[in-house]
Amino acid sequence: MYPGDLDDLWEFTCVFRHRDIHTVRSFSFHTTVYQKRKNKFITNAGRAPRDHNALRFVDENIYRTFANANNGHVAVYNAETATINEYATLCDLLLDLGFHLKQHEHDRWEDEPVAEERDRSRRPSPKEQFVSPDLYGYCSEVVPRPTEIKKVSFTGFSDIVQLLAHSTGFAALSSTGEVYTWGDERFVGCLGRDVTDECPAHYPSPVPLLSQLPTGPVRHLSIGPTSSLLACLTAGNDLYVWGDPRRLPPSLQTLFFDQRQADDGWHDYNDGPVPVVITDTDGNEVDGIVDVAVGTEHMIALTDQGEVYVIGQNWCGQLGLGEEIEYVMKWEKVPLSLDDGVSGTKKEIKAVAAGPWASFLIVGEEE
């Protein structure tokens, strides 16, 4: 059993309080929290990479919504031009925004003056301090300033309401419920559709099996940027998943086929989305899935009754089931107590979120 870290939380624990928590975005090394009012930044935890800090410094609005796949590619949606822009790296996006980011903070551009040539009487601006924190210090390497932006644009995509990344590509959801996918053609399962000359892997194309669903159009996507599993919810609160089971642990492969087949390593699966049925301990179907979140090797779902179900690996306590549980192969209800012993008011779970190795419950006062 993976022992985890000493600071892992094995049960759901209150870690932050704010009157208006709306969105939690969790990355590999840090988590950001936003409020509903103007989607304003509240706080973060962990240590964000330099390129993330740079993007937030340059354009907070883009930072709130950009998608960063595990293969390094980045996608941004421009609503004014109905365009999805994909970049080879986050540095290419920054360069397109007019910001040159060094791969290593102690590097120096070829056209940048050396320390002796700088005006030491002038105090550097905050931007200069960020770009070159060691402004008058050690330079490890002289590098050419990048000029070419590795970027491809996809036009004609109006009313995109979600743009998310998975391990090898992206998915987008329109306001009408159309789901578009694109990415690495070697992992066609993550596309959820056939790859043809008319609908190549690298171009955002609709997923036919997610059109004309029995309980209405897709209303919500959930994808982990480090995962090969994608999920969506319909207007009627049905749950569907698709992805590449070969890149998932056996505990999540059971979403695509039964436990015996997962244990035997059987991988004859459907590349398209499949419906997911959550059952309770008595084998009864759980209806009304109102929210879902996907981590690297786990999933968490919220019902309209305020119940939380989880499946997958629990190496770092991401399932909230206790340290003795290594994984669960079937959906399991999480025992929860929302009484914080402070306010005395009744609480309810508003939404769920997931990071690569963590799960989050957004809790508010009962309406």
Confidence bin at 261 (pLDDT 50/70/90)? low
The pLDDT assigned to 342 comes to 63
Inside any domain, residue 141: yes
Under the banding of pLDDT at 50, 70 and 90, the label for residue 144 is: confident
Least confident of 113-117, 259-263, 336-340: 259-263
Least confident of 103-107, 145-149, 316-320: 103-107
pLDDT of residue 115: 55
Q: What is the pLDDT of residue 343?
A: 62
Given a cut of 80, whether residue 249 has pLDDT beyond it is yes
Once rounded to an integer, what is the mean pLDDT over residues 39-56?
A: 89
Mean local confidence (pLDDT), 224-244: 95
Lowest mean pLDDT among 99-113, 141-155, 186-200: 99-113
Q: Which of 114-128, 134-148, 326-340 has the lowest mean pLDDT?
A: 114-128
- What pLDDT score does 141 carry? 74
Which pLDDT band, with edges at 50, 70 and 90, does 346 fall under?
confident
Distance CA 41, CA 313 (A): 30
- Give per-residue pLDDT as tens, 278-304: 998 888 999 899 999 999 999 999 999
Query: Whole-number mean pLDDT of the chain?
Result: 86
- Please tell me which residue, 210 or 36, carries the higher pLDDT value: 210
For the chain, the domain total comes to 1
The answer to whether residue 129 scores a pLDDT higher than 80 is no
Mean pLDDT score, 255-263: 61
Identify whether 113 is part of a domain.
Answer: yes
pLDDT interval class at 256 (50, 70, 90): confident
Percentage of the chain beyond pLDDT 90 is 62
pLDDT digits (tens, 9 = 90+) for 201-210: 999 999 999 9
What are the pLDDT digits (tens) for 170-191?
A: 999 999 999 999 999 999 999 9
Predicted local distance difference test score (pLDDT) of residue 119? 58
Between residues 19 and 269, which one has the greater pLDDT? 19
Domain hosting 115: range is 101-145
Q: What is the pLDDT of residue 133?
A: 47
Instruction: Report the percentage of the chain scoring pLDDT > 70.
Output: 82
Q: What pLDDT, on a 0 to 100 scale, did the predictor assign at position 197?
A: 95
Residue 105 covered by a domain: yes
- Mean per-residue pLDDT, 25-42: 86
pLDDT at 134: 45
Q: Which of 107-116, 156-165, 244-253 has the highest mean pLDDT?
A: 156-165
**pLDDT classification of 114: cutoffs 50, 70, 90:** low
